[in-house]
Amino acid sequence: MVSEIALLWDGMTYLQRYLTAKGFESEVVAHPALLLLKHFKIAIVPAGFADRRFSKMLGVLRACRESIENFVQAGGTLIVSGAISEEADAYNWLPFQLKYKHKFGYVRVERVAEHAAAMLVERGMCMCDGYFDVVRGGEIILKGNNCPILVASSVGSGAGEIIATTVHEFPSERFIAYYLRRKH
């Protein structure tokens, strides 16, 4: 079976085990430029991408900004999880502006816009590793304790989408299935 999910990571990730257990094939891609070589529908940047204790991906993501944007413009969905870092500019490689505030804790989830990305979380409470204190160019979909925790933005013709979140839990099975069925 050909994988339609790329995990942008530089080693083993528990997210891959979770996806396999849910019946989804995924492939770890250590360099985002490789997204152009395969027919992935979804690319996921797991939580911790900016924490140098877990990963060296932040520098790679910044260096491959154009390739990532091309993937989304071609109809792909990019899902970016929490940075787990004190670096407010950890998301500055995305084509819209997010400033991140690191703060672990459980939050009460509030849907503020109707959008399929809200399916990422299926409960009223979830663990977050922070929130966005600046959002420019993206639509706030979910808030946690009145702070933005999930933002969506279309890129290019609107065929592709970037979903950035600070939710520190695996995406729901329903969320992954929906974005795999979406026209690419």
Six token digits for residue 21: 């257990």
Q: Do 30 and 10 touch, CB atoms closer than 8 A?
A: yes
**For residue 50, what are the contacts with CB-CB under 8 A and spacing of at least 6?**
57, 58, 83, 84, 85, 87, 90
**Mean of per-residue pLDDT scores for the chain:** 91
pLDDT reported for residue 36:
73
pLDDT reported for residue 35:
73
Summarised one tens digit per residue, pLDDT across range 65-103 is 999 999 998 889 999 999 999 999 999 999 999 999 999
The domains found in the chain, sorted by start residue, are 5-181 (3.40.50.880)
Summarised one tens digit per residue, pLDDT across range 23-63 is 999 999 988 777 776 789 999 999 999 998 888 999 999 99
Summarised one tens digit per residue, pLDDT across range 129-154 is 999 999 998 999 999 999 999 999 99
CA separation for the pair 79, 152 (Å, rounded):
9
Q: What is the pTM of this model?
A: 0.93
